[in-house]
Amino acid sequence: MTSTRRMVLLGGLGAGGALVIGYALWPSGRIGRIDKLDSKPGEKFVNNWIKIARDDSITVVIPHCDMGTGIYTSLPQMAAEELDADWNKVHVEAAPADVDFANGAMIEGFALNGQQVPTFLKGMAATTFRFMAANLTVPGVGYVPQITGGSAAVRFTGVNAMRVAGAAAREMLIKAAATRWNVAISECSTQNHRVIHAASGKSFGYGELASDAAAYSPSSNPALKQKSRYTLVGKSIPRIDIPKKVDGTTNYGLDVKQPGMMYAAIRISPVFGGRLKAVSVGEVSKMRGVQKIVQLDDAVVVVADRFWRARDAAAALNPVFDNGASGSISSADITTTRVNALKGDNLKSDLKIGNGAAALSQGSLIEATYHVPYLAHAAMEPVNATALYGRDGTLEVWAGTQDGLGARGYCAKVAGLSMDQVKFHLQPLGGGFGRRLPGLFNFLEYAVRTAMATPGTPVKLIFTREQDMQHDFYRPNVMSRFRATLDGKGMPVAWVNDYVGDEGANPEAHIVYGIPNQAIGAAQVKTHVPTGPWRSVEASWHGFFVESFIDELAHTAKADPVAYRLSLLKNSPRHYTVLKTAAEKAGWGSPMPAGKGRGVAIFEAFQTIVAHVVEVTIAPGGTVKVDRVTTAVDCGSAVNPDGLLAQIEGGIIFGLSAALNGTITIDKGAVEQANFPDYDVLRIADCPQIDITIVESGAPLGGAGEPGVPPVAPALTNAIFAATGTRIRELPVRLAKLDAAQKRAVGL
pLDDT tens, residue by residue, 355-376: 999 999 988 899 999 999 999 9
Give the 3-state secondary structure of residue 589.
coil
Q: What integer best gives the mean pLDDT of the chain?
A: 89
Contacts of 723-726 with C-beta under 8 Å, sequence gap 24+, read 723/592, 723/595, 723/596, 723/597, 723/616, 723/617, 723/618, 724/597, 724/618
- 3-state SS of 433-478 is CCCCCCCCCHHHHHHHHHHHCCCCCCEEEECCHHHHHHCCCEECCE
- pLDDT score for 745: 53
CATH 3.30.365.10 assigned to domain 253-324+383-462? The reply is yes
Q: Once rounded to an integer, what is the mean pLDDT over residues 117-134?
A: 38
Integer Cα distance of 453 and 439 in angstroms: 23
Within this chain, domains 9-237 and 333-360+474-746 share the same CATH topology: yes
Q: Once rounded to an integer, what is the mean pLDDT over residues 134-149?
A: 56
- Measured N-to-C along each axis, helices 71-83 and 163-181 cross at an angle, to the nearest 10 degrees, of 30
CA distances from 361 to 214, 385, 489, 519, 520 (A): 70, 58, 17, 14, 17
Which is more confident, 512 or 9?
A: 512
The terminus-to-terminus CA distance of the chain in angstroms comes to 65
For CA atoms 139, 142, 144, 150, give the dihedral sign. Answer: negative
The pLDDT of residue 107 is above 80: no
Q: Once rounded to an integer, what is the mean pLDDT over residues 120-144?
A: 38
Per DSSP, 371 falls in state E
DSSP secondary structure of 187-200: GEEEETTEEEETTT
Strands 194-197 and 188-191: antiparallel
- pLDDT score for 216: 73
Instruction: Give yes or no for a contact between 149 and 537, defined as CB atoms under 8 angstroms apart.
Output: no
Q: Which residues contact 82 (CB under 8 A, 6 or more apart)?
A: 162, 163, 164, 165, 166, 167, 170, 222, 224, 225
- pLDDT score for 32: 55
Instruction: Give yes or no for a contact between 410 and 132, defined as CB atoms under 8 angstroms apart.
Output: yes
Residue 135 phi, psi dihedral angles, 5° rounding? -100, -20
Strands 365-372 and 478-486: antiparallel
Q: Once rounded to an integer, what is the mean pLDDT over residues 91-97?
A: 94
- pLDDT score for 220: 59
Q: Once rounded to an integer, what is the mean pLDDT over residues 380-397?
A: 97
Integer Cα distance of 746 and 550 in angstroms: 26
Integer Cα distance of 68 and 244 in angstroms: 12
Element (H, E) at 332: helix 331-343
- pLDDT score for 217: 67
Which is more confident, 452 or 28?
A: 452
- pLDDT score for 133: 34
Give the 3-state secondary structure of residue 87.
helix
Measuring CA to CA, which residue among 72, 14, 68, 10 is closest to residue 43? 14
Q: Can you name the CATH fold of 9-237?
A: Aldehyde Oxidoreductase; domain 4 (3.30.365)
CATH 2.30.30.90 assigned to domain 333-360+474-746? The reply is no
**Which range is most confident: 45-59, 137-151, 353-367, 551-565?**
551-565
The pLDDT of residue 123 is above 50: no
Integer Cα distance of 312 and 4 in angstroms: 60
Report domain extents, the chain: 9-237, 253-324+383-462, 333-360+474-746
Q: Once rounded to an integer, what is the mean pLDDT over residues 22-38?
A: 50
The pLDDT of residue 238 is above 90: yes
What is the four-CA torsion angle of 678, 682, 684, 690, rounded to 10 degrees?
180
Residue 702 phi, psi dihedral angles, 5° rounding? -110, 175
The pLDDT of residue 23 is above 70: no
Measuring CA to CA, which residue among 498, 494, 549 is closest to residue 516? 494
- pLDDT score for 306: 98
Residue 370: Cβ-neighbour burial (10 angstroms; 0-12, 13-18, 19+): buried
- List residues bridging with 190 in a β-sheet: 195
Mean pLDDT check: name the lowest of 143-147, 235-239, 496-500, 656-660.
143-147
Integer Cα distance of 25 and 138 in angstroms: 7
The pLDDT of residue 246 is above 50: yes
- pLDDT score for 557: 97
